[in-house]
C-alpha cells in the first residue's frame, strides 16, 4: 500500500470512528433520560389556584389581585410575578365570546407565608351594584394529589374603583392552611403594583 492510499484509509477510518462515537453519545441520552427532580414537581403550575366569579351576563369588569409571600402583587396591570400568574383577565362583555364572568390566577410552588386576595371593581354600571363576587382558593401540594378547596367567600362590590380584600391567609410550605390565619383585613394591592 502506498503512502497516499494509507492516508486516505486512515482519514476515512477516523471519520467513521468519530461518527460512531457521536451517534453512541446521542443515543445514550435518548435511552436514559435524566430523572425529573422533586423540586421541579413542586414548582409545577397550579399549586395555589385563586378563582373569582361574578354573575354571568352582566357587563362589569371585576379584577382579581393576588400576592404571594415575598412577591409582587399580580393583577390586570401586572399579569405575572415570581410565584403567581393571572391567566384570565375578564373585561365583562368587551372582547368576550361568552357570557361567563370569571378570573383565575395560578401559582408555581407554595412558599410558606401570607397570601392576599383582593377584588377591584374596575368598571360597572351602577344599576348592577352591588355585584356579588365568589372567591375560591384551592391548593394542590403535589402532582399526585387532587386539588383541594381551602377557602370560599363572597364579597359584594358597591361602586367603581372599590378594592376589597376577600381574604388573607397563611400556608405552610406543604400547602396546609395555618390555623387562625384567615382574615379579611384590608391590604391594598393595586397601588403596590404600580
- The whole-number pLDDT of residue 56 equals 87
What's the pLDDT at 13?
Answer: 83
In this prediction, residue 40 carries a pLDDT of: 44
DSSP character string of 24-35 = HHHHHHHHSPPP
Per-residue pLDDT of the chain (194 residues; tens, 9 = 90+): 688 787 888 888 888 888 888 888 777 777 755 555 444 444 456 799 999 998 988 888 899 999 999 999 998 888 889 999 988 776 666 666 677 889 899 999 999 999 999 999 998 888 889 999 999 999 998 878 888 999 999 999 999 999 999 999 999 988 899 999 999 999 999 876 55
- Sequence spans of domains, the chain: 1-34, 42-193
10, three cell numbers: 486512515
Sheet holding 84-88, edge to edge: 84-88, 102-108, 45-53, 131-139, 148-157
CA 36 to CA 43: how far, in whole Å? 12
pLDDT of residue 145: 82
Amino acid at each position: 500500500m502506498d503512502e497516499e492510499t494509507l492516508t486516505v484509509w486512515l482519514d476515512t477510518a477516523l471519520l467513521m470512528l468519530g461518527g460512531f462515537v457521536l451517534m453512541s453519545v446521542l443515543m445514550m441520552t435518548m435511552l436514559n433520560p435524566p430523572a425529573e427532580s422533586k423540586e421541579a414537581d413542586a414548582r409545577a403550575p397550579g399549586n395555589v389556584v385563586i378563582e373569582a366569579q361574578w354573575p354571568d351576563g352582566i357587563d362589569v369588569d371585576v379584577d382579581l389581585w393576588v400576592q404571594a409571600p415575598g412577591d409582587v402583587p399580580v393583577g390586570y396591570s401586572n399579569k405575572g410575578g415570581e410565584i403567581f400568574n393571572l391567566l384570565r383577565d375578564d373585561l365583562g362583555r368587551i372582547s368576550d365570546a361568552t357570557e361567563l364572568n370569571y378570573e383565575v390566577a395560578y401559582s408555581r410552588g407554595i412558599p410558606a407565608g401570607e397570601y392576599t386576595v383582593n377584588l377591584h371593581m374596575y368598571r360597572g354600571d351602577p344599576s348592577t351594584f352591588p355585584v356579588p363576587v365568589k372567591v375560591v382558593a384551592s391548593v394542590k401540594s403535589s402532582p399526585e394529589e387532587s386539588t383541594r378547596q381551602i377557602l370560599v367567600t363572597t364579597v359584594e362590590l358597591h361602586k367603581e374603583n372599590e378594592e376589597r380584600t376577600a381574604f388573607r391567609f397563611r400556608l405552610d410550605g406543604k400547602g396546609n392552611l395555618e390555623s387562625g390565619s384567615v382574615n379579611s383585613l384590608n391590604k391594598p394591592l393595586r397601588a403596590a403594583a404600580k
